[in-house]
């Protein structure tokens, strides 16, 4: 009797295995393609590929693991010069430096001061840079501005299942991923290099090897236009929405957090060069004339004094008209490569620790020679 029960049990499990085998094979193949394409590739693999000689653009469509990715990249590269801030620093390139290996851009979209502080303190002491280029968004110092919340970072293993679920859900809703041939080819849509992740593959949007961002939404896929986005930002300014919330005072909490960050850097031998990124000239002029954002000027004075206490330099580049026109901006507050190259030259001319790494004369020639404000250096 026991033998018959065992035989029936084995028969049941055998039939179940045969029934589920096709589904398991499909799931395994589907997961394998998503990993190979870069959409759910373990981040250490991405970091290793980006340290090679060829251009590798990385940006998945699902999930946000920018903090972990930029930490792993910084730890692996151990740059002497590190750019850190929100997406507004992401046009800063390794091409500024005679030896490109000395630089990495660790900025991340929508990051705020707390995220920047978390990032820097999470780095091992041996991976801290010699010079930190710290972009400080003006709204961070407005007590009425609310920064974006981020979901907790997940592991590579968790990410695989989260991506699988998201792709299946979108497919059921009629939203298709790039076709199989695109995913396998892993070819970047804009300049033809290796692309990892669906956004890099389909839109040419993502992080380059040096951590800077190629804005494929504008430059490759073309579903965003600078003119339209600059108009949208003006609407937000006039409505006092998003990053353009009105304010008259400086956030004491933000000022204290920044002071703590500067203290941490000084204790670890890191020279900090801080700056306010530029705003599009028309938008900035309207902001000044409206009189609803006086916290910007007050914060500039406060930060200049604070950086001075540590012997660090601070630059207020808020007025984009000092370096170009509205046509040099993707939107109201993301400037082009040409604008950021000029900002870097201004900082390098004033800070010997930067000038030692760059051929400033050659960079000035690049500013004059470029015919594309958004793409000075290529992929």
Question: What confidence score (pLDDT) does residue 367 get?
Answer: 96
Q: What is the pLDDT of residue 16?
A: 45
Prediction pTM value: 0.91
pLDDT of 71 reads 98
Give residue 8's pLDDT. Answer: 57
Residue pLDDT, tens place only, 49-91 = 999 889 999 999 998 899 999 999 999 999 999 999 999 999 9
Q: What is the predicted pLDDT for the residue at 24? A: 45
Q: What is the pLDDT of residue 149?
A: 82
d(CA 69, CA 296): 32
| Triad 135, 280, 240: Cα angle to 5° | 85
Structural contact between residues 200 and 193, judged by C-beta atoms closer than 8 angstroms: no
Please list the ranges in the chain whose pLDDT falls under 70: 1-28, 379
Provide the 3-class DSSP secondary structure of residue 72.
helix
Structure confidence at residue 25 (pLDDT): 47
- For residue 27, the model assigns a pLDDT of 56
Residue whose C-alpha is closest to residue 197's, from 16, 56, 345: 56
Q: Which domains does the chain show, CATH number per domain?
A: 37-369 (3.40.50.1110)
* H-only helix segments in 268-358: 281-290, 295-309, 337-350, 352-355
Adjacent-strand bridge partners of 276? 316
At 178 the pLDDT is 82
Specify the residue for token string 């760059």: 358
Q: Tell me phi and psi for residue 116, to 5 degrees.
A: -60, -45
Range 287-300 burial, b when 16+ CB lie within 10 A, else e: bbeeebbbbbebbb
Q: Assess contact for 34 and 160: CB atoms under 8 A.
A: yes
Using only the alpha carbons of the chain, give its radius of gyration: 24
Which pLDDT value is given to residue 9? 59
Q: What is the pLDDT of residues 136-153, one digit of tens each?
A: 999 999 999 988 888 888
């Amino acid at each position: 009797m026991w033998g018959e029960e065992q035989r029936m049990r084995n028969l049941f499990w055998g039939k179940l295995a045969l029934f589920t085998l096709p589904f398991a094979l499909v799931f395994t193949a589907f997961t394998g393609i998503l990993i190979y394409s870069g959409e759910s590739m373990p981040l250490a693999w991405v970091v290793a590929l980006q340290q090679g000689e060829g251009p590798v653009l990385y940006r998945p469509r699902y999930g946000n693991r920018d903090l972990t990715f930029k930490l792993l990249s910084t730890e692996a590269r151990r740059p002497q010069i590190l750019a850190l801030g929100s997406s507004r620093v992401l046009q800063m390139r390794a091409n500024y430096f005679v030896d490109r290996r000395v630089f990495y851009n660790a900025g991340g979209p929508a990051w705020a001061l707390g995220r920047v502080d978390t990032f820097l303190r999470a780095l091992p002491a041996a991976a801290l840079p010699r010079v930190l280029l710290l972009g400080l968004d003006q709204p961070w110092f407005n007590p009425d501005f609310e920064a974006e919340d981020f979901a907790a970072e997940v592991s590579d293993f968790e990410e695989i299942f989260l991506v699988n679920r998201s792709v299946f859900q979108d497919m059921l809703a009629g939203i298709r991923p790039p076709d199989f041939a695109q995913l396998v080819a892993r070819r970047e849509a804009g300049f033809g290099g290796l692309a990892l992740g669906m956004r890099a593959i389909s839109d040419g949007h993502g992080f380059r090897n040096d951590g800077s961002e190629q804005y494929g939404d504008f430059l490759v896929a073309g579903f965003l236009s600078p003119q339209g986005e600059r108009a949208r930002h003006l609407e937000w300014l006039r409505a006092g929405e998003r990053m353009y919330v009105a304010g008259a005072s400086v956030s004491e909490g933000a000022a204290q957090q920044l002071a703590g960050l500067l203290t941490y850097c000084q204790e670890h031998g890191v020279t900090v060069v801080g700056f306010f990124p530029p705003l599009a000239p028309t938008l900035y002029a309207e902001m000044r004339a409206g009189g609803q954002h006086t916290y910007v000027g007050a914060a500039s004075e406060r930060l200049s004094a604070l950086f001075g206490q540590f012997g660090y330099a601070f630059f207020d580049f808020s007025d984009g008209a000092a370096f170009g026109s509205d046509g040099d901006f993707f939107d109201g507050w993301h400037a082009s490569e040409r604008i950021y190259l000029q900002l870097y030259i201004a900082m390098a001319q004033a800070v010997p620790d930067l000038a030692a790494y760059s051929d400033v004369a050659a960079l000035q020639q690049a500013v004059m020679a470029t015919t594309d404000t958004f793409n000075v250096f290529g992929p």
